[in-house]
Structure 1
């Protein structure tokens, strides 16, 4: 079995995978100060509840956009799982795709791994939208090359900034407005409309511009925790893939295993 670790700015996802499919997954808040020992205690308890023997983990792969977290995640794999982890984008964990941008080294590991998984599953040009701490929209062309993209504030960041800057605005949940009207009748309704439909309009507008610039038929693949929420009220997405990053990690790990 493979343990895939996706360390994002807000959360770290640990997933046990077999044959490229997720058997179990757990999520913990990202904290670069958390030690390998703390990870191990937490993870072993969850594995026990899921009836997974840690000794069955034969390989570990890590993708991280938080450089300070890498050391302790590596130590977790080495000390408690007896594995030297593959690090996505480094050494034998190379992404295996052309990164055709001005600064290839600046591309976040999550975005590159998403590109690997999306190209493996879908033909032609793709726009991959990932709803994370930031919302990213990435163009992967028909050859599998990463051609560039867009970084926008995540919807939670946008809402937090709005509430923090306006003293009288309340905290609200991220959810679709109760009606399809875009004229709110009270403060909370107006905030839901502004945040939700504003975000939908932003995505639809940017994707329209990206498709025009690409100039070829282009599928849109969405991933991240809020993808399914938006999928209910827009026909923008051709596919929603909640496990896209984990699938990409499994592809890279399998490629490494086949060459060793």
Structure 2
């Protein structure tokens, strides 16, 4: 079995793969204060609850956008699994040509998504990852990563309203039927969700235009991340929602680097 660990700013997603197929998946909170022992206890409990033997794990790969958590996680892997993990970063084989001013600045999550999307779709692509931040990435069918843009995530926008406006409550992220709403909660939901849909549509249209000016075909738009389905239901500009894109990319990178 292979354990895949994707560390985001809000959650850590774990996937357990056997013969390149996911057999279990978990999501735990990203906590900078946890020690390696605390991570070990938590992850061993997940294995035990599912009658899994951690000794059957033969390889581990970690992708992270949270540098401060890596010391504890890496120590947990070495102590609990007796394995040296593969860390996605500079020097990792990915098959992607990064056309960034400084390739080291590109987040590991964006590269992992690009690896999976390129290998699965073999097209000019725009990849949107709806996480704590929302990332938009441009990738050609020749595996050239052209760059992209980063915006505040939907939850950040929602939390900012609650924290900065004294009379506004914290709300659930649900799409109301109408944009002309008759109560505060629905008004906030409409503004955040429909406003975000409008932002996504505008950015994608501009990215498509710039990519086609460079000679690309009209790119396919692939979305992933926890809130991708919510936004995709409100727009036709997203062609495919692929919730497992990041874990599949990690598995592909593991195969390229396991030696």
Q: TM over 0.5: same fold? A: yes
2:56 match: 56
Aligned counterpart, 1:13:
13
- 3-state secondary structure, aligned to 2:125: strand
The answer for the alignment partner of 2:229 in structure 1 is 228
On the 8 A contact 2:93/2:256 being kept in 1, the answer is: no
Contact 1:89 1:95 in 2 (8 A): no
Using the size of structure 2 for normalisation, the TM-score is 0.95
- SS for the counterpart of 1:9 is coil
* 2:203 aligned residue (201, 206, 213): 206
> Structure 1 residue 90: deviation in Å?
4.0
Does 2:130 match 1:100?
no
Q: Retained in 1: the 8 A contact 2:78–2:84?
A: yes
Contact 1:7 1:30 in 2 (8 A): yes
* 1:32 alignment partner, SS class: coil
Do the aligned partners of 2:94 and 2:256 also contact (CA within 8 Å) in 1?
A: no
State the alpha-carbon separation in 1 of the partners of residues 48 and 111 from structure 2. 32
1:183-217 CA-to-partner distances (Å, cap 9, x unmatched) read 12222221111001000111011101111111121
Deviates more, 1:30-39 or 1:115-124: 30-39
After TM superposition, where is structure 1 displaced by more than 4 Å over at least 4 residues in a row? none
| 1:223 Cα deviation after fit | 0.3
More deviation, 15-24/130-139: 15-24
Matched, 1:156 2:151: no
**Distance in structure 2 (CA, Å) of the matches to 1:31 and 1:95:** 28
Query: Where does residue 132 of structure 1 map in the other structure?
Result: 131
Tell me how far apart the structure 2 counterparts of residues 247 and 90 of structure 1 sit (CA, whole Å). 20
Secondary structure at the residue paired with 1:198?
Answer: helix
1:3 — aligned with what?
3
Is 1:247 aligned to 2:244, yes or no? no
Does the 8 Å contact 1:124/1:217 carry over to 2?
Answer: no
Aligned length: 255
What is the Cα deviation at residue 222 of structure 1? 0.4
Measured in 1, the distance between the counterparts of 2:18 and 2:195 equals 39
SS at match of 1:221: strand
Unmatched 5+ stretches in structure 2: none
The DSSP-based 3-state class of the residue aligned with 1:68 is: helix
TM-score scaled by length of structure 1: 0.95
SS at match of 1:199: helix
Alignment of 1:17-32 (within 5 A): 17-32=17-32
Q: Distance in 2 between matches of 1:26 and 1:130?
A: 19
CA distance in 2, matches of 1:218, 1:113: 19
